[in-house]
Amino acid sequence: MSVFQYVSDEASLNALVAQYQQSQLLVLDTEFVRTRTYYAKLGLIQAYDGKTLALIDPVAVPNLASFWALLTNPNIIKLVHSCSEDLEVFAHYGNCQPTPLFDSQIAASICGMGHGVGYAKLVETCLGEVIDKGESRTDWMRRPLTDAQLNYAANDVLYLYQLYPQLETKLVEQNRLNWLYEEGERMTVGRLETPDLDTAYLRVKNAFQLTEVQLAYLKVLAKWRLEKALARDLALGFVIKDHGLIALAKKQPKSMGELLKLNDLTEQEKRIHGKDILKVMQGADLVNLPEVVDVIALKPGYKSAFKAIKTCLTEICEQHTVPMEMLGSKRHIHEYLQWRWNKGQGELPTVLTGWRAQLAGEALAQLEL
């Protein structure tokens, strides 16, 4: 059972933050609920500096300004595990991103302990402790939180603090600590930007199937859906699902009668949004049409080019004992191939930046694609 301080008023929070500002290492975790909402509902923040393990209640203390200021203090290492969802929470509620960032899951991957290792597995491997994950699916917005919930939450930062020296030592021995911080920086890029309404259509599943005219309709529909989702804090699928938007863009109903015949929309979607949808579709710009979505996998020569890049990166991964997922994921390969086929125009692909460029840049440049 962990010893922790439960922080439920602003004075206690400010005193805690004053202490944390003096520390060199701060472990962070969050507990949240995301069911129907666009943004996760923040239920609890866990923090530990090796002296005081605190469970901060954001429901009881809505003003967390002093805590958010901690996260950007460059003198404190922020230690997290598999933090992409935590970063979303920090961006939305604190309008900030932690720096410098040390993610223990990425650290384990870089120093050869396996890719995507879960927290409980890492704790068991390094510390021999078995963690009870019984409260992982729980309602963190419910008050009061149970003792079991609080202990579960506290353990998420308690053992992470103890893991740090082992992971840091391994990274230093392999001369890869700078890789770890580079990854931390890369993960936080762009997270404070507001969602782009005009490019929302590019993130709709199967948008590549549509013609330019159909895409013009999808563009206004996806923008409208995102605006609706943000205004009502609803997950996109709870406004209208992707396949519903695709069907509307393909069939372009001009009247309520035509719209009601569409099987791809639920009766609820038709009833609540029908009139809005017809109005939005009338605003489609059919003069300045969007370009057809470019799918690299459909281009001639894709298979052989993909295979050549993958083979090259696999050899480098084996030589340097780096997981393929870190150096040459499918997304990384696609990014690089697109860049090569665009004759090096545009932003450098990830695989040609930082430590990845040092490992793979020369070998990739020699490939004939």
| Strand-strand pairing, 77-80 and 101-103 | parallel
Indicate if 9 belongs to the active site: no
Q: What is the dihedral of CA 213, 217, 218, 221, to 10 degrees?
A: 170
Indicate if 86 belongs to the active site: yes
Q: Please return the burial class of 15, using the count of CB atoms within 10 Å of its CB with bins 0-12, 13-18 and 19+.
A: middle
Catalytic residue among 86, 168, 183, 269: 86
Indicate if 29 belongs to the active site: yes
Catalytic residue among 135, 156, 168, 183: 156
Catalytic residue among 20, 38, 48, 152: 152
Catalytic residue among 20, 29, 183, 217: 29
Three-state SS for 97-141 is CCCCEEEHHHHHHHCCCCCCCCHHHHHHHHHCCCCCCCCCCCCCC
Catalytic residue among 31, 135, 183, 269: 31
Q: For 272, phi and psi rounded to 5 degrees? A: -75, -40
Indicate if 147 belongs to the active site: no
Query: Looking up tokens 């692909």, which residue turns up?
Result: 349
Indicate if 31 belongs to the active site: yes
CB < 8 Å & 24+ apart, contacts of 14-18: 14/66, 16/47, 16/52, 16/54, 16/56, 17/66, 17/67, 17/69, 17/70
Catalytic residues: 29, 31, 86, 152, 156
